[in-house]
Structure formats: structure tokens, C-alpha cells
Amino acid sequence: MAQARSKRLEAGAGAVPEQENPSSRPAAPRLARGLEQATRVVQDRVLRDHLGLVSEARGDPAKREQLVLVISRILVEEGIATGRLVRDGLAENVASEVAGLGPLDPLLEDPEVTDVLVNGPFEIFVEKRGRLELTPQRFRGGEHLLETIRRIVAPLGRRIDQSAPQVDGRLPDGSRVNAIIPPLSLRGPVLTVRKFSRNVHDLEDLCRMGTLSAEMADFLAGAVQVRLNTIVSGGTGSGKTTTLNALLRVIPEGSERLVTIEDAAELQPHRVNVVALESRPPNLEGQGEVTIRDLLRNALRMRPDRIVIGESRGKEAFDLLAAMNTGHEGSLSTVHANGPRDALHRLENMVLMAAEELPHQAIREQVRAAVDLVVHQARLPDGHRRILEIALVNKDGDAQDVLVPVFRYEHDRPAGQPCFRRLLDGLPEFVAERWRRAGLGWPSWAQARG
């Protein structure tokens, strides 16, 4: 009898209830519901009898394997999935449900996946090599997805429900998470996971990947060492944080105190003498919020040589520009923008948010005085990430054009190799002076020019 029951359950494995997924075949919902009920019996028993092992398995691969063996034994005792292959697969699924994130686990473990995009329970996309792909992974339904989201945010002291239908958080490995649920989302719970990269690339790696040329890397390395204030601009997913991490690795080891400030820690300087600060959202009572601007003001009292803001998106831009203009040369940040000129305009608008009483011309002059270099990059339609332009900010107040382009991306050759063009034969005098002061040799192609 148990064997017959097992065959029925195995036949329904992977099916989705018809009322939640109209594309399912008519016979599948009953079998899927039977498998779901049996799986829940096993889950309840595991959580009741082996809660300690479940807790340990959430952060220990060896304990996770032990948990899978325990679940496999329970499946045999319950007469569920007697076939070895099906039982092993079901044991992994149950382990993912009680100690992981269910169908998301294999996607998060895939090193090629950079983003996981869950558009409701039955549609999960991933980004691989810069391209989006639909996966076969599915949740059982909206409630299953919602339970998974709650499991992510609960350890962070946050909640998601009708009164708070959107939430930001992160996974234990540092991956950023955003979730939004009905009534704000019209197609059920939606979850976005921006995976934390364990591999930190330097400028040489980015050259091999085609993000920039060797000449550009040489120039950027010099710009960091002579302490040019730098803004990395681009759209979502363009690789701004990757480039910022690469620039941080050029900073001389130990000789400068670096303070990083982020909403969710992604920067990995991999050097000594670094203080990493992270903002905090309000708690369930709406208290205890610490903003990027709060942390930046505190950082100014910590004797930083350089300040790095993971992303400037609000009033903190006013304080960042003030820091750049008052002795914290070599500071860096990223900005969402469509180009170098747009990046400067975005900074002006963010400063206006904090200082509405300031004349626009005064704000523009402050931005021009503070920012020395803009590095703009984008993700192309084929998925490749390229630095499209590197431009210096002209310090000549009488100059008509505030930007002096140094390098520009032209196109990809037929073989897929990028073509970058250098637009200058020498460094403008206002930048060459910084190279001289730092005692650093000029880039091989450059000579000072007036």
C-alpha cells in the first residue's frame, strides 16, 4: 500500500496547483497537493525532532549533508518516495525548505548567476554572463514564496506584510535582497536578489574582461594614486561597484585610512586600515534609523584620508562634496546616471535636496570644484560591460565645456574585442600638476599641456 502511495506521489512530483498556475494539466493538481501534504508532514517532523540540526545546517555544509540523510531516512519511514533517485531529490528539496530558501538555493549556489529575479511564484529569471535566462525553478504558490521572503528578513529584525509591503535586506553572504508584495505588486510577491560577488577583480582583470583598455587602466591607477576625486556612473547592473572595488585596490596599502559607507556592504578593499560602515533602516516601531548622511557626518570625525560612499542617491551628496572640497582628496562614490554630464547634473540635484536655499550656480561651482574625474560605464545589449567614457572635470571656470573627455568606447570589433579611443595626447595642466605633486610618473602616452 505504501509503495502504491509512493508511486502516486512520485508521479505528481513537481506539479503546480491548477488554481495558481493555469498552464498545469488537469490531473496534476491533485497529485501535487498530495506530494505537498506529504512533504509538509516530513518538514514538521524534521522541525520537531531535529531543530538543532536544522539551525546548524543553515551555515555549515557538513551539517547540511547530515540533515539530508536524516530527511531521507524519515521519507523511508513515512513510506514516501521509495525510489532512490526520487527520494534523494525530495530530501534535498525538504532540506532547502527547512534550512535554506527552497527553489532559490541551486540558483544562489551557481557561481555564474549574478542576479535572481522572482516575478511571482511561477517565473524565476537569472542573469548569467550579462543575459537574462528563464529557469525551470518554481515555488508552489504565492504563500510559499511569501514564507521564503519572511525567512530572509526575519533574522534582520524586519517584517513584510500588508502594513509594510516592501522591504530591503541581505542574505548571510552579503547578497542584497528586495521584496515587494500585494497590494503594491499586482502579480503576487516579487523578490530580487543581487548576489554578492566573492571574486574581487582588479584593473588587470577588467582589462582581460574587455571592460577597459590597458591605457585606460594605467590612467585610472594613476588618478587614484594622485588622489583625484572620482565618480563612477552608470545604470543598474552596469558594473559600477565592480569598477569601484578595482579602483580601491590601487590605493597604497596601509598608508591611508579609508572609511567606506554603504546601504548594504559590497565593497571589498582587501587592505588594512579600513573602517566599513553600514546604514540601518528603522525598526518595527519606526525608530533607530541611521542614514548614509548620518554615517558620513560621523566619518568626518574619524580622521579619514579618503571617504568612499557605495552609492550617492540623496542628501548625503552635499556632505560628500563638502568633504571632497575640505581636505579629503581621493574620495570616491557611484551615481546612477546616463553619462558623465548627467552624473554631474544628478549630483547638483541631490545637493539641492539638502540645501534648497543655495543658488543653483553656487551648487554647480561646488560640484565642479569637488569632482575631478567621472568614469561612466554601461551594460551593452549583448551583456558585456564596457567603460564608455572617462572624462576629467575642467577646473577652468571660464571654460564653456565642464568636461574634458580622455577616453571613449567606440564599438566592438566583429570578433567581440572592444575598441577604445584615446582623445588626448597629454594631460591638461590642472591635472598634470597633481601628478607632479604626487611624484608619480605620467602615463606612457601623456605629456603635460597647457
Listed by start position, the domains of the chain span 2-100, 105-194, 203-449
Q: Band of the pLDDT at 240, cuts 50, 70, 90?
A: very high
Asked if the model's pLDDT at residue 3 lies above 50, the reply is no
Letter string b/e over residues 410-423, b meaning 16 or more CB atoms within 10 A of that residue's CB: eeeeeeeebebebe
- Greater model confidence, 71 or 290: 290
Q: Tell me, what's the pLDDT at 82?
A: 63
Mean pLDDT for 116-126 is 97
Over range 325-331, report the average pLDDT: 91
Inform me whether the pLDDT recorded for 22 exceeds 70: no
Sign of CA dihedral 434, 439, 442, 448: positive
Picking from 74, 21, 17, the residue whose alpha carbon sits closest to that of residue 45 is: 74
How far apart are the C-alpha atoms of 211 and 241, rounded to whole Å? 13
Does residue 395 carry a pLDDT above 80? yes
DSSP code at position 394: P
- In CATH, what class is 105-194? alpha beta
Q: What is the pLDDT of residue 116?
A: 97
Residue 16 reports pLDDT greater than 50: no
pLDDT band at 33 (very low <50, low <70, confident <90, very high): low
Residues 27-33 have a mean pLDDT of 46
Q: Where are the beta strands (DSSP E) in 226-352?
A: 230-234, 258-262, 274-278, 306-309, 332-336
In the sheet where 166-170 sits, what is the strand order?
131-134, 124-128, 113-119, 190-194, 176-180, 166-170
Q: Which residues pair with 117 in a beta bridge?
A: 125, 192
pLDDT band at 450 (very low <50, low <70, confident <90, very high): low
- The answer to whether residue 1 scores a pLDDT higher than 50 is no
Are the C-beta atoms of 145 and 118 separated by less than 8 Å?
yes
Per-residue confidence (pLDDT) for residue 43, from 0 to 100: 75
Give CA angle at 197 (196, 199), nearest 5°: 155
N residues, the chain: 450
Q: What is the DSSP letter of 424?
A: -
What is the C-alpha separation between 127 and 225, in angstroms, rounded? Answer: 34
Question: Is 259 a residue whose pLDDT tops 90?
Answer: yes
Neighbour tally for 204: CB within 10 Å? 13
Pairing relationship of beta strands 166-170 and 176-180 according to DSSP bridges: antiparallel
- Cβ atoms within 10 A of the Cβ of 138, count? 19
Higher-pLDDT residue of 152 and 345 is 345
Q: Which three cell numbers stand for residue 386?
A: 564596457
User: Percent of the chain beyond pLDDT 70?
Assistant: 88
- Rounded distance, CA 282 to CA 280, Å? 7
pLDDT single digits (tens) 403-440: 999 999 998 877 678 999 999 988 888 888 889 888 88
What is residue 104's predicted lDDT score, i.e. its pLDDT? 93
Average pLDDT over residues 201-209: 94
Please tell me which of 10-24, 73-87, 175-189 the model is most confident about, judged by mean pLDDT: 175-189
- State whether the Cα torsion 442-443-446-450 is positive or negative: negative
Cβ 184 vs Cβ 339: under 8 Å? no
Give the pLDDT band (50/70/90) at residue 11: very low
Domains 105-194 and 203-449 share a fold: no
Q: What fold does the segment set 203-449 form as a domain?
A: Rossmann fold (3.40.50)
Question: Picking from 208-217, 284-293, 360-369, which range would have the lowest pLDDT averaged per residue?
Answer: 284-293
Predicted confidence at residue 340, as pLDDT, reads 96
Q: Is the confidence at residue 5, as pLDDT, over 50?
A: no
Secondary structure (3-state) at 328: coil
DSSP state of 280: B
Over residues 61-85, the pLDDT tens digits come to 788 888 888 888 888 877 776 677 7
- Using alpha carbons only, how large is the chain's radius of gyration in Å? 26
The pLDDT assigned to 35 comes to 59
Q: What is the DSSP string of 340-391?
A: HHHHHHHHHHHHHHH-TTS-HHHHHHHHHHH--EEEEEEE-TTS-EEEEEEE
- Contact of 261 with 308, CB cutoff 8 Å: yes
Helices (H) and strands (E) in the chain, counts: 15, 17
- State the average pLDDT over residues 189-194: 95
Per-residue confidence (pLDDT) for residue 112, from 0 to 100:
92
**What CA–CA distance (Å, rounded) separates 436 from 267?**
30
Q: Exposed, middle or buried, 66 (CB in 10 Å: 0-12/13-18/19+)?
A: middle
pTM as predicted: 0.80
Given this model, what pLDDT does residue 274 score? 94
